[in-house]
Structure 1
Amino acid sequence: MLRAAFFGIDRHRDPYVGDLTGAARDATALWAIMSDSIDGLDAQLITNEDATLEAMRAALDATLASADETDVVILGFAGHGTPDHRLVLHDTDVDNLPGTTFGMDELAQRFRDTRARAVILLLDCCFSGGAPARVLDVGLVPRNAIAFPLVDVAGQGRILFAASSAQQEALEDPQTRHGLFTKAVIDTLLAADAPLGVLELVDRVTRLVGANAGRFGYEQSPTMFGQTQGDFMLPPGRVGERYRAAFPEYNALQTTGDIRELSQVGIPQEAIDAWHERFPAGLNALQIAAVNERGVLGGNSLMVIAPTSAGKTFVGELAALKAIADGRKAVFLLPYKALVNEKFEDFSALYGERLGLRIARCSGDWQDQVGEVLRGKYDIAFFTYEKFLSLSVSSSHILNQIGLVVLDEAQFITEPGRGMVVELLLTSLVSARQRGVCPQLITLSAVIGHANSFDRWLDCALLQTDERPVPLVEGVMDRTGAFTKMGPNGAETIQMIERHRVQQRRTRPSSQDVIVPLVQHLVEAGEKVIVFRNARGPASGCAEYLANELGLEPALDVLDALPEGDPSAMSDSLRRALAGGVAFHNGDLTRDERVAVERGFRSLNGNIKVLVATSTVAAGVNTPASTVIIAETDFPGRERIPYTVAQYKNMAGRAGRLGFEAEGKSILLAETPMERNQLFRRYVQGQPEAITSSFNPNQPGTWVIRLLAQVRDVPREAVIDLIANTYGGYLAAIQNPAWRDHMADSLERLLNRMIADGLVDEEGDSLRLTMLGRACGESPLSLESAMRLVELLGRIDPTDASLENLLVLVECLPERDEDYTPQSGKNGEPRWQQEASGRFGFNIGRSLAHRAESDVAFYARCKRALIVSDWIAGEPTTDIEARYSSNAFSRVGHGDIRGYADGSRFLLDSALRISAIVLGRAEDQDAAALLMTRLDLGLPADALAISALAFPLTRGEILALYHAGHRNQDAIALLNPDQLTAIIGRRGDALHRTFQPIIAGAA
């Protein structure tokens, strides 16, 4: 009789045991193949939550202990191990490893005690891609380490076949998501056309694993221990009912659009039920094409270009749930923190609460779940572009965990500032394929014109459509009310509003003259309207004058949802606008205020009929409208930069509410009939710009150091290949066959300079980043910025290089100089120089002038540093705004304050790492983490305890409690509801209720 048990553990109860990606899949595949192939096999499959220590012992009792002299027992294990040769189960506790793991000594004893004729143990104990440091810190090692010494386990009739030999790391193939060892066993069994002896199996598997490991540049040699009396034979493998049921991804699906059909490919029924409720009509044409024609549920990579509301985001969701069903993880990459938070909350409600999936976010703030992501303790994670690039470079093992990457708003690769980040993270994924790391990649965009070989560089199929579920009418209207729109036969001009309704409302003609009657006309027709303005001030001002003119009912529901305490000037402006049924959305609002506005505008029964917004709403925020009005076609500033066609199309695309309108309208405003015709040709008839690379061949330094950070070392002559792997390099090589030769000359000069600067070590013909070079390459700093910081640190007294002073000195970096700082007059505001020297000390104050382009730039640095200092001291927002706003034309708003704090925080982490190397000392990690949290929350250090309460408090509420002297949970718990309401406002009663279980427990 044949008995068998297969164990595979990917998930562990203890949060400090990192997840695996292929162990349960390994065990399931072996169980399925052998059960389908061997008649009468009595086989157990025990994975993940079921694979406890007790369950393992019970399974061994049912196999080894119950066997007699005629039985053969086959065992398989895939999972973690400890340095002292113990197997890690699902319920292993890192604080009690000896008592919660299964020792190989116990297994050896069971092998000796069993009466079975033969025992075969397949031990695929790899830790796919290497062990994260945190796992090693708690005593766990790569799975190969448990395999030695194993000779005591084996013996006569006792065969132990281990995945690798001593000192080798067993590997996992990210494409098949199996250990190389298990996959070789399966392939060998399936390839056999006759019964296969154990020794022959060992020989074939060993050769196959060695060859496959070699493809990835590694060595792995499976090792057999023990002897057999005669050669036990295994029948040829076959794919049968059990294997097909266990791995439905191998079943090709051709859907008709009925969401319920997706159960055929293994997507959980709970997800299908939730989707069927959201989309009872089923998949649309774009989504059906993604499944049927592009094989997105079969793991194929895909580039989707489709208008807003065409359903492309759901293509990413479909692929994500399929990846999770296959035992993989999915990540979504988004351009803004606000979008990360929005998606995190949406997915937590749908997939977290309803399906029990683990949702994580990493956007660079204090709520991040970086630790969980590094340990693989998540199913879906949301990242900003910058955070994903940083983690994927500094902790490259996370790429081994990921089965799917969804890059939203892919057109950001063309942005001058952030395009490099997008291109580098995509280059990292493209380059990882050479190591066998191949997560499925889906890129999404609404506003790409010509793909310009982007899809070929990514090796993605292209799915592009202009069809929208709600058709969009685009046009331009001038001050006469004449509206030229795109009709079936070309341009058509109609009179949208009567000429006499356009009245001059100020001393000079302005956009207000047109916007007021136009919005009034649309609202009277029952429409919801978004008005796009090109700056924060015009957005809030427009909302206020519309609220005064339109006479709409107040949006009381949104007013009630606004946070209390620590208001900004924009908070008061928002309340005035909402009192007239109008809202605005810009960077001067707090996150809570923006969320309240977004929800109020989306609400079917809400009273916000008009939303005035800056262009950030166009980048993915869920705020569809009936009609969009675009008031300007350029960004303000000394050099007015016109909108690209893509930016215009992105804003226009917000028009048209699915299920409510037969069509959406986009109205671009012009002054004169001549300008109306010009704008119509440029924007309405124009095509979005072709996608391009932001790589600058004349300034390759930052690109090179960041690309070198993605590899351990590289031959000098192969550095050009790193550049060639980028999208910019790919395009350059296509366009100019001599590009490599020209680029190689520039790289030689650059590399010599980097070696001289101590960034790169040269050993023979290989280059490797020094510790300083790696710190620079893994940071978001440009090479110029990193070297400026090194230079600055060398000029100051080491005693001045405190954590707080380093936060001030960050303002000297080019990235911060590029951040607009309002100042009055041509010569700036010299008074901030004196205040900075007084607050930060003369030496630090003087250092702020280092390499400043002008006195104006120097004063701006001082001003930003002072604002950030006030922010983390807990100064009220209105006080900071008033103190640093010189006049109405150089006003510092909440968005500036928040932006300066976020910008400093973003760069501070890299500055700390570089300063530790340059100065030869490391900052206190706890103190650094404390400062990072203060930058996020805008609080003094001794107020942070209040922020840690289970009840989420706003900055204003925290500061109110802090200034009232109630600075910890015990003190706040003693306050009654009336006292709390008097301190923090209307949420006092809700806060009091959160403490009742605590008080009851203490009693």
Structure 2
Amino acid sequence: MAFHIADLAMDERRLLEESFRSPESEVRVLVATTTLAQGVNLPADAVVISDLEHPGDGRPYSVSEYKNMAGRAGRSGRRERPGRAVILARGSADAEQKWQRYVRGEPEPVRSALLDPAVDVRGVLLAGLAEPASLARRRSGPDVQRFLAATFAAHQSRVSGSPDPFPSAEVRRMVGELISGGFLKETPVAAGEMPHGLVLTDLGGLAVRSGLGVDSVSSVVEALRSVPADSVNHATLICAAQLTTELRDFRFDLFPRSPYKEHARLAAQLRKRGVAETVCSRLIGPPSRSGSGIGPARRAVACLMWAEGINLASIERAIADQEKRTRPEFPGPVQYTAQRAADVIATVVEIALLVHPTVDLGDLPDTLPTQLELGIVQGLVPIAWNTEVPLGRPVYLSLARTGLTTPAAILAADPDLLLDCAGGDPERHSAVSNAAAIVLADADEGGHRNPSSLLLD
């Protein structure tokens, strides 16, 4: 039996999926969240659904979501016999309700995502203006209106007789916010007129490429703009990333027993690591009985410690409620939140360079994403870039504990010590030594770079 959740690392997820597919594998049962049911082609003989509510907010699954989960049973490539989908019920009344609603129910009609109030249409406008046809010439407010009128959302509203989802006043407001936020530039027009000569700015293009929401990018811009250029460091950038809505995770929001004390403790942890005061204040907010800023602060401390090469148990102890030592609660998925931050941090670095064009970040734009992804100190990042085989975080932590945090130190180390750091594995021992030699050779020729960056040159 194995489990499959979003918190798994990519190599862990890949191993589980390959094992479950293999007829020779001992993994015959996979306990999974809907991340598996929704997006991975992994057929099974039977699917057992224990609950039909979304975790966290308790929203019931739609019929379409249920059909998708149940549809994992009996797909081609497994066995010829029909698959079975089982729903666990709590009594006969619950069984009847689920049978009628889900098993016999029809999937909901297709509905445009743009009609969902939670969808930020401003991001759609930016993506539309980033298309080659739009980049070839400047667009106007009426062009934007025609673009929105041609969407499926507008079509559905016209067919159903519903009000126009994109009235002129709303389009003017959205375009105005994108202009004032620095995402678009315009040719000046008279008050009350639709903007003309719309073109993406560098920030607007970055927002489209990153996939972050407009509000998330704006939050990072405002936070970094308040920081002096000489205070932009790795800790400040990691905390700025936590201001994005995409990195929110309710599992870090456990209410502490002493919220004021916990707020002060976590804020001190951030300041000790050099986080700029203005970013720290935006992230954690003022102390309050609700403890509203404690979740973001826990995520930030976890990411900082992970990138410092600190072991997982120590990180979990550091972000856990210090007043609940006798009955500690799970403080949140550290590795998962760090790897999500790794996906965002390159965009945050680019924003910092737009806000502070003269700032010198050195190797940080290249090394910080790898530090967050692997949980290693900066000095070992070039080793990770040049290893022939994946080493695993325990090897990097062992190297750091013994002071072998540079390629020169690794090559000068006692071979038995290096073998011990590699977990006694000769292949990994050789991979570490070879990577260190490659890094030093590259340095002699003018410096080392992340091999993946060569694709961008």
What does residue 721 of structure 1 align with? 146
Give 1:683's aligned amino acid: Y
Name the SS for the 1:682 alignment partner: helix
Shift of 1:969: 6.6
Shift of 1:821: 1.7
Q: 1:629 to 1:647 in 2, by over 3 A?
A: same
- Bigger proportion of residues as strand: 1
Answer yes or no: is the 8 Å Cα contact 1:973–1:992 preserved in 2. Answer: no
Match for 1:789 among 191, 209, 220?
220
Answer yes or no: is the 8 Å Cα contact 2:377–2:400 preserved in 1. Answer: no
Match for 1:632 among 45, 51, 54?
51
Map 1:607-626; keep pairs closer than 5 Å: 607-626=26-45
Name the SS for the 1:722 alignment partner: helix
Answer yes or no: is the 8 Å Cα contact 2:419–2:429 preserved in 1. Answer: no
Q: 1:721 to 1:911 in 2, by over 3 A?
A: farther
- The percentage of counterpart residues that share the same residue type is 26
Shift of 1:905: 2.9
Residue 984 in structure 1 maps to residue 396 in structure 2: no
Q: 1:763 to 1:927 in 2, by over 3 A?
A: same
Residue 669 in structure 1 maps to residue 103 in structure 2: no
Residue 686 in structure 1 maps to residue 105 in structure 2: yes
Match for 1:933 among 370, 389, 394?
370
Alignment TM-score, normalising by the size of structure 1: 0.37
Map 1:498-513; keep pairs closer than 5 Å: none
Answer yes or no: is the 8 Å Cα contact 2:235–2:273 preserved in 1. Answer: no
Map 1:133-532; keep pairs closer than 5 Å: none
For 2:226 and 2:405, the matched residues in 1 are separated by 40
- Bigger proportion of residues as helix: 2
Give 2:396's aligned amino acid: I
Cα deviation digits, residues 74-120 of structure 1 (max 9, x gap): xxxxxxxxxxxxxxxxxxxxxxxxxxxxxxxxxxxxxxxxxxxxxxx
Name the SS for the 1:848 alignment partner: helix
Shift of 1:677: 1.0
For 2:405 and 2:272, the matched residues in 1 are separated by 30
Give 1:724's aligned amino acid: A
Q: 1:925 to 1:624 in 2, by over 3 A?
A: farther
Name the SS for the 1:584 alignment partner: strand
Name the SS for the 1:790 alignment partner: helix
Match for 1:838 among 272, 280, 293?
272
Q: 1:840 to 1:819 in 2, by over 3 A?
A: farther
What does residue 394 of structure 2 align with? 956
Answer yes or no: is the 8 Å Cα contact 2:240–2:348 preserved in 1. Answer: no
Answer yes or no: is the 8 Å Cα contact 1:780–1:910 preserved in 2. Answer: no
Residue 892 in structure 1 maps to residue 331 in structure 2: yes
What does residue 916 of structure 1 align with? 353
Shift of 1:652: 1.7
Answer yes or no: is the 8 Å Cα contact 1:792–1:850 preserved in 2. Answer: no
Answer yes or no: is the 8 Å Cα contact 1:817–1:857 preserved in 2. Answer: no
Name the SS for the 1:943 alignment partner: helix
Shift of 1:644: 1.9
Cα deviation digits, residues 291-326 of structure 1 (max 9, x gap): xxxxxxxxxxxxxxxxxxxxxxxxxxxxxxxxxxxx
Residue 707 in structure 1 maps to residue 128 in structure 2: yes
Cα deviation digits, residues 31-70 of structure 1 (max 9, x gap): xxxxxxxxxxxxxxxxxxxxxxxxxxxxxxxxxxxxxxxx
For 1:853 and 1:728, the matched residues in 2 are separated by 41
Cα deviation digits, residues 591-650 of structure 1 (max 9, x gap): 33333333333222222232222222223435432222111111232x311122222222
For 2:180 and 2:40, the matched residues in 1 are separated by 47
Q: Which runs of 5+ in 2 are unaligned?
A: 189-195, 436-457
Q: 1:818 to 1:684 in 2, by over 3 A?
A: same
Shift of 1:696: 4.4
Name the SS for the 1:640 alignment partner: coil
Residue 807 in structure 1 maps to residue 242 in structure 2: no
For 2:217 and 2:286, the matched residues in 1 are separated by 13
Give 1:943's aligned amino acid: L
Q: 1:816 to 1:602 in 2, by over 3 A?
A: closer
For 1:847 and 1:997, the matched residues in 2 are separated by 44
For 2:84 and 2:412, the matched residues in 1 are separated by 56
Name the SS for the 1:862 alignment partner: helix
What does residue 605 of structure 1 align with? 24
Give 2:388's aligned amino acid: A
Greater radius of gyration (CA): 1
Give 1:882's aligned amino acid: R
Map 1:737-756; keep pairs closer than 5 Å: 739=164, 743-756=167-180
Shift of 1:757: 4.4
Match for 1:641 among 59, 68, 76?
59
Give 2:340's aligned amino acid: G
Q: 1:689 to 1:945 in 2, by over 3 A?
A: same
For 1:702 and 1:780, the matched residues in 2 are separated by 9
Q: CA RMSD in A?
A: 3.5
What does residue 760 of structure 1 align with? 184
- Pairs aligned (count): 412
Map 1:33-112; keep pairs closer than 5 Å: none
Q: Which runs of 5+ in 1 are unaligned?
A: 1-581, 999-1003
Q: 1:852 to 1:912 in 2, by over 3 A?
A: farther
Match for 1:592 among 11, 21, 31?
11
What does residue 443 of structure 2 align with? none
What does residue 731 of structure 1 align with? 156
Q: 1:965 to 1:778 in 2, by over 3 A?
A: closer
Answer yes or no: is the 8 Å Cα contact 1:585–1:617 preserved in 2. Answer: yes
Cα deviation digits, residues 431-463 of structure 1 (max 9, x gap): xxxxxxxxxxxxxxxxxxxxxxxxxxxxxxxxx
Answer yes or no: is the 8 Å Cα contact 1:812–1:849 preserved in 2. Answer: no
Give 1:941's aligned amino acid: Q
For 1:714 and 1:897, the matched residues in 2 are separated by 44
Shift of 1:872: 0.4
Q: 1:815 to 1:792 in 2, by over 3 A?
A: same
Give 1:662's aligned amino acid: R
Answer yes or no: is the 8 Å Cα contact 1:626–1:661 preserved in 2. Answer: no
Give 1:762's aligned amino acid: E
Q: 1:971 to 1:755 in 2, by over 3 A?
A: closer
Shift of 1:871: 0.6
Answer yes or no: is the 8 Å Cα contact 1:975–1:992 preserved in 2. Answer: no
Q: 1:755 to 1:923 in 2, by over 3 A?
A: same
Alignment TM-score, normalising by the size of structure 2: 0.77
For 2:7 and 2:216, the matched residues in 1 are separated by 28
Give 2:378's aligned amino acid: A
Q: Which has the higher contact order (CA 8 A, sep 6+)?
A: 2
Answer yes or no: is the 8 Å Cα contact 1:822–1:891 preserved in 2. Answer: no
Name the SS for the 1:619 alignment partner: helix
